[in-house]
Structures are given as C-alpha cells and as structure tokens.
C-alpha cells in the first residue's frame, strides 16, 4: 500500500515526512526551552533566598531605585503601588502615546490648527499649504505661546524635583498649577459652569470662588471647558476669515455671469485674487499676530 501511495503521489509523501520531522524538532526545542526556564527560575529563587529580598524588591544598584527602602519606585511614589520594572516601562510608553492628545487638549494647538485649516479652505487652495506645514507651524506657534508656562513649570516643579527637593507627586501638583492658570485664563465662565453642572459637582461653602477653582477644581472639569472655549474662538476666527474671501467670490461670480461666461468655474478666477489680496494685506503677520495676542498669559 505504501509503495502504491509513493508511486501515485510522491509529493504528498514527501510533504508528510517533512511535516513529521518539523513537528519532532519543534517538540524537542520546546522541551529544551522549558527545561532551561525551570533551571533559571530555580537559580533565581535560590539567589533570592540567599539575598533576603522578595520578588518585586529593588536593589540599591537598580537605576529606578527611589528612596531608602527596598521596593520603592517612581510608580510606587505616584500611585502607592509597588510595581516591577516592566510595569513602569508600560506606564512610560502609555504616557508617551498620550502625549499628543495632552498637547492638543491642554495647549493652544487646537485653536491654531483649526484657524489655519479655515484659512486654507477660505482661500480654496486645496492642499496648499500641505498638512505637514500647517501642523509644523501650529506646533511652533504653540511652543512660542506656551513658553512662559513651560518656563514656570521648569522653575517650580522640574528643577526642584531633579535637585531632590520634591517628590514625584509634589512635582506633578506644582506643575499642574501653571497649566491650570493658563487654561482658566482662556476658558469662559459659561463653559466652566456648564461642565460643573454636567459633572454634578456640589457647590462648596462660599460658592465657586477663584481660589477654589484654581486649587480644588479637578482637571477633568477644566480641560473639557478649555477645549470647548478654544473650539468656539477658533470657529469665530474662521467665520471672520471667510468674509473677505466670500466677497471676492461674489464679485467674481457676478462678473462672470454678466459676461455670459457661465461655464467657467468662478473658483479658478477668484483664487489668484484671494492670494493677491492676502499677500498685499500682509495676511500672515495679521493672522499670526491676532492669534498670539488673543491669549491671556
């Protein structure tokens, strides 16, 4: 039967033999890895028993060791949980992944990028300037506007933390004060009150005073209030940007209709006039100056 199978389909037999050999090799490798892992665990347990430390403890030579007690770490200082190094790495990667969102939510980036997008739409220049240019410009303007805030954070939080004068939790609390002040200066009272009511926050004795809002009001209320205020101002600026370009479109469209050139797209004729008016009016300086001066620092 085997000879008959070999004669009829040699390829099938070869594949079966090769698959069988691969399974045997993988099984042997798996058994070897399991034996090595058990050996390593046994050696680690023996070393732990000899040193007197338990699993999860940090040695003095550990680069993330904080404080004088074993088991102390940056994550433990933040959340009160003794964690291992891999968990701290995961936490760090999570914070890095959320950094762009924090940049958008807590800085002037949102208003700037929306205004620049409105400008491009009003001028009908399609993808000019490209998205990369608009994002880079918005990022640099954000750094320019937020420079005083970042400087204050460096002075009151980061430098004392580096010098050992503050713990991690104290440094974070100190760094949140300049950010809160910046966001509250840009947030309207109506938006702030809306999210206070939406969050069912009980009014303290003496009402929602400036001291209470600055010191005790949570960032979970301040950040969405700041975002809504930024969106409102960005759309208001966008509306004002559309008005002069809309006038140019109306003039060009009326002129083409009166000349009987109804088949000619008005956007093709109006776009050069929009660019010319924007350049002659020194539009970039006017726009950037109004955006920067619109922030209360």
For the chain, residues with pLDDT lower than 50 are 5, 55-56, 58-72, 79-83
Write out the two tokens for 130.
């490209």
Inter-residue contact 253 to 271 (CB < 8 Å): no
Q: Cβ of 296: how many Cβ atoms within 10 Å?
A: 9
Cα 48 from Cα 38, distance rounded (Å): 15
User: Which candidate, 235, 229, 234, 203, places its Cα nearest to that of 217?
Assistant: 203
Token pair, residue 94, equals 């999570």
d(C-alpha 237, C-alpha 12), whole Å: 72
Whether this model's pTM surpasses 0.85: no
The pLDDT tens digits of the residues spanning 177-201 come to: 888 889 988 888 888 888 888 888 7
273-284: pLDDT as tens digits: 888 888 898 889
Do 158 and 170 contact (CB within 8 A), yes or no?
Answer: no
What's residue 51's pLDDT? Answer: 55
The rounded distance, in Å, linking the Cα atoms of 276 and 271 is: 9
């Amino acid at each position: 039967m085997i000879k008959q199978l070999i004669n009829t389909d040699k390829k099938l037999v070869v594949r079966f033999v090769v698959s069988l050999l691969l399974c045997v090799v993988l099984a042997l490798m798996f058994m070897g890895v399991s034996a090595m892992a058990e050996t390593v665990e046994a050696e680690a347990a023996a070393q732990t028993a000899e040193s007197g430390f338990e699993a999860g403890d940090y040695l003095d030579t550990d680069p993330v060791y904080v404080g004088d007690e074993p088991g102390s770490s940056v994550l433990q200082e933040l959340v009160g949980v003794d964690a291992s190094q891999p968990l701290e790495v995961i936490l760090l990667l999570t914070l890095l992944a959320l950094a762009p969102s924090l940049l958008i939510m807590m800085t002037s980036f949102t208003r700037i990028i929306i205004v620049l997008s409105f400008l491009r739409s009003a001028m009908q220049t399609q993808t000019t300037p490209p998205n990369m240019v608009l994002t880079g410009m918005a990022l640099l303007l954000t750094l320019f506007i937020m420079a005083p805030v970042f400087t204050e954070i460096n002075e009151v939080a980061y430098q004392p933390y580096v010098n050992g004068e503050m713990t991690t939790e104290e440094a974070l609390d100190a760094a949140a004060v300049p950010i809160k002040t910046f966001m509250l200066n840009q947030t309207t009272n109506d938006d702030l009150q809306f999210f206070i009511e939406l969050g069912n926050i009980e009014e303290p004795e003496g009402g929602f005073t400036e001291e209470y809002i600055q010191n005790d009001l949570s960032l979970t209320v301040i950040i969405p209030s700041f975002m809504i205020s930024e969106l409102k101002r960005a759309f208001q600026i966008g509306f004002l940007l559309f008005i002069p370009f809309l006038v140019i479109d109306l003039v060009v469209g009326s002129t083409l209709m009166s000349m009987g050139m109804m088949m000619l797209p008005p956007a093709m004729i109006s776009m050069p006039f929009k660019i010319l008016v924007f350049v002659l009016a020194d539009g970039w300086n006017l726009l950037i100056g109004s955006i920067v001066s619109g922030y209360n620092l």
